[in-house]
Amino acid sequence: MASDFLTVSGLTKTYGTTTVVKGVDFSFAKGEFISLLGPSGCGKTTILRMIAGFETPTAGSIRVDGQDITTLKPNERQLGMVFQAYALFPNLNVGDNIGFGLKIAGVPAEQRRERVAEMLKLIGLPGFESRYPYEMSGGQQQRVALARAIAPRPRMLLLDEPLSALDAKIRVSLREEIRAIQLELGITTVFVTHDQEEALSISDRIVVMNAGNIEQLGGPSDIYNKPATRFVATFVGHLNNIDVIVTDPASKTVSIDGQSITVSNLPADAVLNANSVLTIRPEVLSIGAHPGNDVSLSGTVSDVTFLGSVIRIRVALGKNIISLDTFNDQRSTPPRRGDAITLSLASKDLLVLAN
């Protein structure tokens, strides 16, 4: 896949003595849906605002479709922006809100009406052109904000946590709609979020940010299943961190609360009796033996939590307590607190992360 439609090189932003974006580099292809994912203060929104032109980079460059836009004004970049707050004009009805950018661009009234009608159909709100923002729900208002951003046919769409003000069910529905619209239009999209589920569910690729740096860039499956750093592993998804002691570096054997297991990726510099940490995703653990699993651990159930379709079971191996997730199967009874239990997993699913 060509990766040269959006190119960010050495992008840096400093406020006084504080550098919030530290020489970031990435490149994406036309039509990709990209998420900038990370905790508050990691620099993701600052990057988006620099792409949009609302912040000036301290250093570095931004290119879109071969054009250097680093110093262009926001209205010269041909980009559409959707904000966390709906930012609709309260004194304008829906039709005028959606058509605002077209009017500024000098598009004739009849063409504006046609384009507004097209946008309302696209966002599933035909016939809403005469309503005012205060007459609409939050989800409807954000759909209108999206329509306003794409009405002028921008070459790229930027979304700054557009779902964070909505309740959970509407967030899921609207993110699916945003993805469907993006695929229909084929527009390159950069989506800022701190919600890992949002990023994993709708992105082609994800940029995981931390403290102004990129921790990892990759597809959702790689980000989740093959985290490059401890930060990515702990930030994306639930993770068990297990304290172990290296008992035989040559055979890659470690001890977990007195239980010996062999791991496939023990660091080459591991030494005898060294303390280390293994990480395990809850969903890779099975109760009892399971085909393909070559590691077993024994413990006692310390807690059982019902989460709807999933049941989370916490098991004490000794000092270490780990969680596993199993589907809620009404035909079987989950273990109870205090039950002795044997868990199994594949050694390849044991992660050893150095940082």
The pLDDT of 202-222, averaged and rounded, is: 97
Write out pLDDT tens, residues 255-296: 999 999 988 877 777 788 878 888 888 889 999 988 889 999
Q: What is the pLDDT of residue 1?
A: 44
Output the pTM of the full model: 0.87
Give residue 214's pLDDT: 97
Check residue 334 and give left, alpha or beta (phi > 0: left; psi -120 to 50: alpha).
Answer: beta
CA angle, 171 then 118 then 201, to 5° = 25
Q: What is the pLDDT of residue 3?
A: 57
Q: Which of 33-37, 104-108, 270-274 has the highest mean pLDDT?
A: 33-37
Q: Mean per-residue pLDDT for 186-198?
A: 95
Residue 112 has pLDDT above 70, yes or no: yes
Question: 158-168: per-residue pLDDT in tens?
Answer: 999 998 878 88
18 has a pLDDT exceeding 70: yes
> Which domains are present in the chain?
6-235 (3.40.50.300), 240-349 (2.40.50.100)
Mean pLDDT confidence for 247-262: 90
Name the strand (E) or helix (H) holding 149.
Answer: helix 138-150
Helices and strands of the chain, counted as H and E runs: 9, 19
SS3 122: helix
295 touches 350 (CB < 8 A): yes
Radius of gyration of the chain (CA): 25
Work out the number of other CB atoms within 10 angstroms of the CB of residue 56.
10
